[in-house]
Structure 1
Amino acid sequence: MTEAPAFPMTRRCPLDPPPELARLRADAPVTRVRLWDGSTPWLVTRYEDVRAMLRDPRVSADSDRPGYPHTTPGIAARRSRAKAFISQDDPEHAAGRRLLTGEFTIRRIETLRPRVQRIVDELVDDLLAGPKPADLVETLALPVPSLVICELLGVPYADRTFFHRVSKTLVSRDATPEQSVEALEELLAYLGDLVDKKAADPGDDVFSRLAVEHYRTGKMTRREIASMGQLLLVAGHETTANMIALGTVALLEHPDQLAELRDGDPGLVSTAVEELLRYLTIVHFGRRRVATEDLEVGGQLVREGEGLILASDAANRDERVFADPDRLDLHRKGRNHVAFGFGVHQCLGQSLARLELQVVYGTLYRRIPTLALAVPVEQLPFKHDMVVYGLHELPVTW
């Protein structure tokens, strides 16, 4: 019997998924792969199969279940200490998500657009006034979502050096279990103190509302709210920051597409955001699940207790759904991508991410039309070592 290939696989081009995924999608769309701990879950690579598993009630997101395919030793260790609702099944998942749904409705998020626009404009002002080359990650990509999520949650932006540091450990592929747990506990302690402060002196923010409505009343513990907060804080800045930087590289590498975005119809921006989300798919280690009973996917029998890795990046390049999927096409009507997942566990903050990306992509290239990479793309430090793909630095000039 052929040995299961190791997962995750190696990229050849930094803007494309590993080419092995395309071969598997064509020839073995549901196949065993080997993880860091020697386990061999099923890798699912076709779009329809990925969506089917993400909405199947027989497929669990509960990271405590035997057979769950943990992403790294560090993530496995910290999830045993504190689980957010995305790693739970209904009804616990639905209950946790319900507490936050009102904060992330499309209507509510849209009210933030003027503020996000001011943030982006001010940061671009500072970028233009500063030295060049400049690191676009530090000057724009990281500050935009960090400022927005801090204001939304009620986290002091002045503490960003701390939470950026611990976040890097939490999403690192190479962090040891000890390092991951230590970073988690540091962040939970910080956010727990913040819950106490908000309970005593609430403001107009998510943490204040959780502290008043659920901590003061005894419905939730300090640690439960802190655990929910660490998910929102880390996911709220890491993912969008990486999409801003990676999307900029993709556009600079496709100057004809960039010119259309910069000089064409402003209405193209929202379509471009969806295409870049599909094309880049920064959740590049797959969404992890485990079967709670025997089921069939893609003609393959998956037994109860066997793990599943649902490869969003492979699904978003499936030629059965997206014509010429390896081509970046900002006019593509591809909002049906699975970059934000699908089903009950799809990303709670997707409306916020879309808004931030629309404002950045609609502003940066118009205001700096000569924006260019300061080093060859081959020299850029891509985040192969992180569970969320992107760039550690992005030197640019103009």
Structure 2
Amino acid sequence: MNDSVHTLTAMPAARRPGCPFDPPKELVEAREHGPISRFPFPSGHQGWLVTGYDLVRSVLADARFSSRKELMRHHPFIDYGDIEVPPAPPGEFLLMDEPRHSRYRRPLVGKFTVRRMRLLTERIEQITAERLDAMEEAGPPVDLVTAFAKPIPVIVICELLGVPYGDRDRFQENIDTFMNGETGDEELVAAYTATQRYLAELVAAKRAHPTDDVLSDLLDGDLTDEELKGVALILLAAGFDTTANTLALGTFALLRNPAQLAALRAEPSLADQAVDELLRYLSVVKQSHRVALEDVELGGHTITAGTTVILSYNTANRDPERFPDPHVLDLRRRNGSHLAFGHGIHQCLGQQLARVEMRVALPALFDRFPTLRLAVPAEEVALRPETADVHGVKSLPVTWDA
């Protein structure tokens, strides 16, 4: 048994200036010491941080590590004291283990197949063209986040779930509020409550008048209205925030790597590889947590039952033992087996949808605006705080030759 192990004393609160795409240097250094480190949580709980690709992947596939919300008592940035964490509400299956998890995920699997998502390509192309038309009409400069990166996935996921067009702005604002990492507790609760209330009304409306959408399709099963509300929340929140941030941050990364951008524009056949490489390189979903249900041997150490483990996706996806030159953006990289969508039973249900949106939107953006560039120095682009669950930019001012 190996008793010598690195300790990360605190979760980094920021990335290195001028390095918006790289993981915080403290996490990179932890990975250099080995694939697993000790991590004392602010609550005093002695947990672990897993930074190596193989170990992260193994934990994600191991049923001895739980995702249950009520076990997630320790936060890497905040000491919640003795507050009891309730189980996940009905339908919010990302924070559940089997068999509850499959009750909600299984009916959705057929709705997000590769084939079904590819059939959406034409509609995604139309939505993308409409956003580009609006950008061109407004003229430079624009904030790419609000003009392009957010609207595309918001419109797509709302149409899939049957959210009325007039409600989309309200929904997006509330989701932004409880996912940006900077919202105060009172505002956070208000936004979450408003979203829950809206989704309850939406489910009731679908019961009364079903339409051609995923939420209406789910009415044929045995899920209650309360469960449908939870499922809708997971799909809506996960269906736009991660893709929106990947589109914006991906554009930023390509603008900062002109040779890679030139390759993408010159070789449209690179699109699929480019999408996977951007997903690996950016890893906007930075980490997740698991709790050991029993004593587990991991990387030469015993993870005792009840211990919280942080899984660092952004270092796993930069692991030099898995990816040669991991800190280099290389759109021709052929090993696409990254962990940006997770692994195991909780692997992202909407990953094919996200891939289609990126494969359509990014080439279209640079085709329409071949002189697209940052409108401010790169160092002035404001990043989301590390306390946010999803990495990204707050805004991305861009301009072009009109």
Corresponding residue of 2:171: 163
Amino acid aligned to 1:281: S
What is the correspondence of 1:174-185 to structure 2 with a 5 Å cutoff? 174-185=182-193
Cα drift, residue 2 of structure 1: 9.1
2:36–2:48: 8 Å Cα contact kept in structure 1?
A: yes
Confirm or deny that 1:379 pairs with 2:380: yes
2:236 maps to which of 225, 233, 236: 233
What is the correspondence of 1:46-61 to structure 2 with a 5 Å cutoff? 46-61=52-67
Cα drift, residue 102 of structure 1: 1.0
1:281 maps to which of 271, 280, 283: 283
Cα drift, residue 209 of structure 1: 1.7
- CA 1:131–1:72 in 2, change beyond 3 Å: closer, same or farther? farther
SS in structure 1 of the partner of residue 340 of structure 2 = coil
Corresponding residue of 2:195: 187
- CA 1:71–1:213 in 2, change beyond 3 Å: closer, same or farther? farther
- CA 1:78–1:226 in 2, change beyond 3 Å: closer, same or farther? farther
Corresponding residue of 1:129: 137
2:89 maps to which of 82, 89, 93: 82
Cα drift, residue 57 of structure 1: 1.3
Corresponding residue of 1:33: 39
State how many pairs are aligned: 390
SS in structure 1 of the partner of residue 268 of structure 2 = coil
Q: In structure 2, how many angstroms separate the alpha carbons of the residues matched to 1:122 and 1:297?
A: 50
User: Percent same amino acid at aligned positions?
Assistant: 43
1:7 maps to which of 3, 7, 11: 11
SS in structure 2 of the partner of residue 304 of structure 1 = coil
2:27 maps to which of 7, 18, 21: 21
- CA 1:35–1:169 in 2, change beyond 3 Å: closer, same or farther? farther
TM-score by length of 2: 0.92
Corresponding residue of 2:273: 271
Of residues 77-86 and 314-323 in structure 1, the stretch that sits farther from structure 2 once superposed is 77-86
Corresponding residue of 1:213: 220
Cα drift, residue 253 of structure 1: 0.3
Q: In structure 1, how many angstroms separate the alpha carbons of the residues matched to 2:137 and 2:84?
A: 44
1:70–1:288: 8 Å Cα contact kept in structure 2?
A: no
**Structure 1 residues without counterparts, runs of 5 or longer:** none
Of residues 304-313 and 162-171 in structure 1, the stretch that sits farther from structure 2 once superposed is 162-171
Confirm or deny that 1:300 pairs with 2:301: yes
Q: In structure 2, how many angstroms separate the alpha carbons of the residues matched to 1:77 and 1:121?
A: 48
- CA 1:85–1:68 in 2, change beyond 3 Å: closer, same or farther? farther
1:283–1:387: 8 Å Cα contact kept in structure 2?
A: yes
Of residues 373-382 and 161-170 in structure 1, the stretch that sits farther from structure 2 once superposed is 161-170
Q: In structure 2, how many angstroms separate the alpha carbons of the residues matched to 1:113 and 1:78?
A: 41
Amino acid aligned to 2:116: R
SS in structure 2 of the partner of residue 213 of structure 1 = coil
Amino acid aligned to 2:53: Y
Cα drift, residue 48 of structure 1: 0.3
- CA 1:309–1:392 in 2, change beyond 3 Å: closer, same or farther? same
1:30–1:44: 8 Å Cα contact kept in structure 2?
A: yes
Which string of whole-angstrom CA distances, capped at 9 and with x for unpartnered residues, describes residues 246-292 of structure 1?
A: 00000000011111111x221101100000000000012x1110000
Q: In structure 1, how many angstroms separate the alpha carbons of the residues matched to 2:50 and 2:239?
A: 27
1:69–1:309: 8 Å Cα contact kept in structure 2?
A: no
Q: In structure 2, how many angstroms separate the alpha carbons of the residues matched to 1:277 and 1:35?
A: 28
Cα drift, residue 240 of structure 1: 0.5
- CA 1:229–1:33 in 2, change beyond 3 Å: closer, same or farther? same
Q: In structure 1, how many angstroms separate the alpha carbons of the residues matched to 2:170 and 2:125?
A: 26
Corresponding residue of 1:314: 315
Of residues 329-338 and 179-188 in structure 1, the stretch that sits farther from structure 2 once superposed is 179-188
Corresponding residue of 1:150: 158
Cα drift, residue 374 of structure 1: 0.2
TM-score by length of 1: 0.93
Amino acid aligned to 1:239: T
- CA 1:277–1:68 in 2, change beyond 3 Å: closer, same or farther? same
What is the correspondence of 1:96-115 to structure 2 with a 5 Å cutoff? 96-115=104-123
Corresponding residue of 1:393: 395
Q: In structure 1, how many angstroms separate the alpha carbons of the residues matched to 2:228 and 2:329?
A: 40
Q: In structure 1, how many angstroms separate the alpha carbons of the residues matched to 2:103 and 2:113?
A: 16
2:276–2:336: 8 Å Cα contact kept in structure 1?
A: yes
Cα drift, residue 175 of structure 1: 3.3
Q: In structure 1, how many angstroms separate the alpha carbons of the residues matched to 2:376 and 2:260?
A: 21
SS in structure 2 of the partner of residue 184 of structure 1 = helix
Q: In structure 1, how many angstroms separate the alpha carbons of the residues matched to 2:84 and 2:238?
A: 18
Cα drift, residue 172 of structure 1: 3.2
- CA 1:268–1:231 in 2, change beyond 3 Å: closer, same or farther? same
Of residues 87-96 and 385-394 in structure 1, the stretch that sits farther from structure 2 once superposed is 385-394
- CA 1:2–1:124 in 2, change beyond 3 Å: closer, same or farther? closer
- CA 1:138–1:72 in 2, change beyond 3 Å: closer, same or farther? farther
Q: In structure 2, how many angstroms separate the alpha carbons of the residues matched to 1:354 and 1:274?
A: 8
Confirm or deny that 1:337 pairs with 2:343: no
Cα drift, residue 10 of structure 1: 2.8
SS in structure 2 of the partner of residue 239 of structure 1 = helix
